[in-house]
Amino acid sequence: MDQEQVVAKSKARGSDIWDSLRTLVYAVLIAVGIRTVAYEPFHIPSESMLPTLLVGDYVFVSKFAYGYSKYSVIFSPPIFEGRILGSAPRRGDVAVFRWPQDPSIDYIKRVIGLPGDRIQMRDGALYINGEPVKRRRIEDFERRDRFGNVQERIEQWEETLPNGAQYITLNLSKYNSGDNTGVYTVPAGHYFMMGDNRDNSQDSRVPVEVGGVGYVPADHLIGRAEIRWISIDQSASLLKPWTWFGALRWSRMFTGIN
């Protein structure tokens, strides 16, 4: 093989490597762009939003629903303040936001109070601006084991907000501290968030200084949870791939979130 052939092959290998790197860079940039401006996937790690969201649900969150803040971008660079192309959340939206105490941590709750609203809980019932939110008792939520056996029954209520948004809440106990509160007046530019699992949710009823959520600033909103795209129960093991298929909750896959 002469020197020209060696040089040609070397150039060809260099070109192939560069093409591969360029393709990888483009793929990363496209993925980051979609995650920043369109949809971002999130995993549900806790039961604070039962029965709407289960542990092991994976949801797509619309990033353009509320516009963009610095928290919409990976690593949250301080490139601008406030929100751009923003629109206000609707009461009843299930929203992902950054925890005011530590903005590196994501939370997911339901938007209950808008700026200026007065929110209160009385004997487990939700009041907005002095008026009780319409609710009705429905069949119990059944917590089941992997074999389908009922382990626990929990009281369920269907709430209907003033704007017509409907969803289901759980009531674990009649004597929880969050069932009777003072009146919370939502500051301008902030939102009041609550979990659907009312007795098992650290939300805006608890001040941020003691580990709760407190009032959520508008620029901490990430987006609206719109669809469950996959759901895996806790019987699956990461190190046992043969358990993955049986752990899928097929009926929850690609379903909307109310």
Backbone angles phi, psi at 186, to 5 degrees: -75, 125
48 is annotated as an active-site residue? yes
Q: Which of 62, 63, 69, 109 is catalytic?
A: 109
> What is the C-alpha to C-alpha distance for residues 216 and 199, in angstroms, rounded to an integer?
20
Q: DSSP letters along 135-184, please?
A: EEEEEEEEEE-TTS-EEEEEEEEEEE-TTS-EEEEEE--TT-GGGS---E
Residue 167 region, left (φ>0) first, then alpha (ψ -120 to 50), else beta?
A: beta
Tokens 């620029």 -> residue: 219
**CA dist list (Å): 68 to 82, 106, 184:** 8, 16, 27
Annotated active-site positions, please? 48, 109
